[in-house]
Structure 1
Amino acid sequence: MTTELSEFDAKAAESGGLATERFRDSGKTAALEVPKERVSLLANEVLGAVYETIRQHKVTYDEFNALKAWLIGVGEDGEWPLFMDVWVEHVVEEVSTEDREGNKGTIEGPYYVPAAPELETPATLPKREDEGGTPLLFQGQVRGVDGASLGGAHVEIWHADDNGFYSQYAPGLPEWNLRGTVVADAEGNFALNTVQPAPYQIPTDGACGKLIAAAGWHAWRPAHLHLKVSAPGYQLLTAQLYFEGDQHLSDDIASAVKPELVLSPTTRADAAGNEVTYDFVLDAAKS
């Protein structure tokens, strides 16, 4: 007799392994030609900061060995993508986009899956018939910093369900549940129907969870929509949009919240859920 798994049976090592595999397949690991002088500079500064911490806080051999075992565990659980995306990526994103004039973005996170189904606007994200959560109409326009509307722009969106789980990273969910790429109309307008996601904790049964427990931190992320917005001749915008009133806006474990990214949905006129309008302004591609 076999037991069908549900999303509540998700394990950190399994989702971590999938995230690691997808990162390796993404092309982001292709050899990067960085001058050895820069590699040496960055490595020495990072190591120097570690040395200073050890000296300042008199790190013991027991603590050193615990750290070594934990680092090994991060790899064994496939949680390097989770660790880097939760605790490091927000700073890289900040410095990488500081010269942009268009919309603010934020981190991608570890649960992106490419090639989501394309949907013509107005669209409904793929979802189960009994999908939990408050219905949400999310709409807006994509345009350039010069004000030009960007017809045919792609608004790729993915988010967790009402229980905090992502399709393709938790068992029992349809393959493309709450994932899709909405194609804007000729004026750059888009509209999609989905459900409002819930706040969730990042996986806590792996190495990252052990760090969180040992440090006495919480593991919560505020509810959010993930987006990648693109148009030919413009820079890709990667963003997350949050919801006003979420109790974790000020203490997101991933430090990814920005005031410009907080939505304020209102009740629809037909009372069939919430709606919100948010426009995306893209920077021209660098020559």
Structure 2
Amino acid sequence: MTAVQDSPTARGAGANASANFKAASTASAADLADTPPERVAAIVTAVLKGVHEAIKEYDVNYAEFNAAKAWLMEVGEGGEWPLFMDVFVEHAVEEQVASSQKGTKGSILGPYYQPDQVKLGATCKLPRRDDEVGTPLVLEGQVRDIDGTPLAGSEVDIWHADSDGYYSGFAPHVPDGNLRGVVVTDEEGRFAIDTIQPAPYMIPHDGPTGQLIEASGWHPWRPAHLHIQVRAEGHRTVTTQLYFAGGEYLDSDVAEATKPELVLDPQDDGTGVRRSTYDFELERG
């Protein structure tokens, strides 16, 4: 990544991610109202049991316990819970939910989603700066029901980092809406999206989440990927990420969100444009 002076801070990214989450979701603690108390108690007990067992297994002392308390407070005060949860927890929830679903493999939403982006035609060019740098990339494909029926008018909501690893809405030097759009498929459910290939990026690591990563001897990198959410009336929404064959960090993603089924292998078409095809299958629901 370049232009370090323009890197988003963990606090700033956390604030944006929190605002976007609240705008896109009605989720709250009140959602537990329909969950039986026995289920809440069982889940909380299991989580606490795991913590208690780790304390016993590793003979945790008071200095380490107090450091953990201070770290948890810093995560909350810095607004980093969306970042922490999306990087370290969401992939496990996504895998569990996906185990009972059919259709295209999903992946995590991540903290950089922004709702209500510009709608584009089936064959389109994602909004970008006039001087946008990066290898041209065209992603084309079809959205279908799992029985093979094309889903006309379905939406392919796509967003990704630029060639330096920065997301619009989170990096101060990148214009709002850059490399984001909602593509509406044609009468055969097809789409062709003209964009650029993104770069790997570091999750914001100047806050407590980064401190945890550094203290654990991990790296803060995610492999290059396209975020995609596919929606069609009467069907289950698929949220996923598409990666690139041979990409750096593909086998060591800090968010543990990569899957073999989601790896593209774009090929140069002879004009300097890399092209790849990926079809999406949505389950009725």
TM-score class, shorter? over 0.9
Counterparts of 1:192 and 1:79, CA distance in 2: 32
Query: Does residue 193 of structure 2 align to residue 195 of structure 1?
Result: no
Counterparts of 2:176 and 2:29, CA distance in 1: 27
Moved more, 189-198 or 97-106: 97-106
> Does the residue aligned with 1:101 lie in a helix, a strand or coil?
coil
Match of 1:150 in 2: 151
Contact 1:7 1:165 in 2 (8 A): no
Query: Does residue 9 of structure 2 align to residue 11 of structure 1?
Result: yes
> Does the residue aligned with 1:31 lie in a helix, a strand or coil?
helix
The alpha carbon displacement at 1:30 in A equals 6.3
TM-score (norm 1): 0.95
CA RMSD of aligned residues (A): 1.4
Letter in 2 for 1:15: A
Match of 2:65 in 1: 64
Match of 1:28 in 2: 27
The alpha carbon displacement at 1:121 in A equals 1.7
Q: What is the correspondence of 1:98-117 to structure 2 with a 5 Å cutoff?
A: 98-117=99-118
Counterparts of 1:211 and 1:30, CA distance in 2: 26
State the 4+ residue runs in structure 1 displaced beyond 3 angstroms.
none
The alpha carbon displacement at 1:180 in A equals 0.1
The alpha carbon displacement at 1:22 in A equals 2.1
Q: What is the correspondence of 1:193-272 to structure 2 with a 5 Å cutoff?
A: 193-269=194-270, 271-272=271-272
Letter in 2 for 1:283: E
The alpha carbon displacement at 1:9 in A equals 4.0
Match of 1:54 in 2: 55
TM-score (norm 2): 0.95
Contact 2:162 2:179 in 1 (8 A): yes
**1:169-190 deviation digits (Å, cap 9, x = unpaired):** 1102111000000000000000
Stretches of structure 1 lacking an aligned partner (at least 5 in a row): none
Counterparts of 1:197 and 1:9, CA distance in 2: 16
Q: What is the correspondence of 1:113-132 to structure 2 with a 5 Å cutoff?
A: 113-132=114-133
Counterparts of 1:204 and 1:9, CA distance in 2: 10
Contact 1:152 1:231 in 2 (8 A): yes
Letter in 1 for 2:21: F
Counterparts of 1:54 and 1:272, CA distance in 2: 55
Match of 2:171 in 1: 170
Counterparts of 1:144 and 1:29, CA distance in 2: 31
**1:55-101 deviation digits (Å, cap 9, x = unpaired):** 11110111011111111111111110111111111110011111222
Counterparts of 2:191 and 2:236, CA distance in 1: 19
> Does the residue aligned with 1:204 lie in a helix, a strand or coil?
coil
Contact 1:234 1:283 in 2 (8 A): yes
- Is the alpha carbon distance of 1:7 and 1:172 closer, same or farther for their aligned partners in structure 2, counting shifts above 3 Å? farther
Letter in 2 for 1:272: G
Counterparts of 1:215 and 1:155, CA distance in 2: 37
Letter in 2 for 1:277: T
**1:146-198 deviation digits (Å, cap 9, x = unpaired):** 11001111000000111111101110211100000000000000001000000
Contact 1:107 1:238 in 2 (8 A): yes
Letter in 2 for 1:273: V
Stretches of structure 2 lacking an aligned partner (at least 5 in a row): none
Match of 1:277 in 2: 277
> Does the residue aligned with 2:235 lie in a helix, a strand or coil?
coil
Letter in 2 for 1:27: T
- Is the alpha carbon distance of 1:97 and 1:275 closer, same or farther for their aligned partners in structure 2, counting shifts above 3 Å? same
Q: What is the correspondence of 1:70-109 to structure 2 with a 5 Å cutoff?
A: 70-109=71-110
> Does the residue aligned with 2:150 lie in a helix, a strand or coil?
coil
> Does the residue aligned with 2:246 lie in a helix, a strand or coil?
coil
Letter in 1 for 2:10: A
Match of 2:46 in 1: 45
Contact 2:20 2:115 in 1 (8 A): no
Counterparts of 1:48 and 1:92, CA distance in 2: 19
Match of 2:160 in 1: 159
> Does the residue aligned with 2:239 lie in a helix, a strand or coil?
strand
Contact 1:7 1:172 in 2 (8 A): no
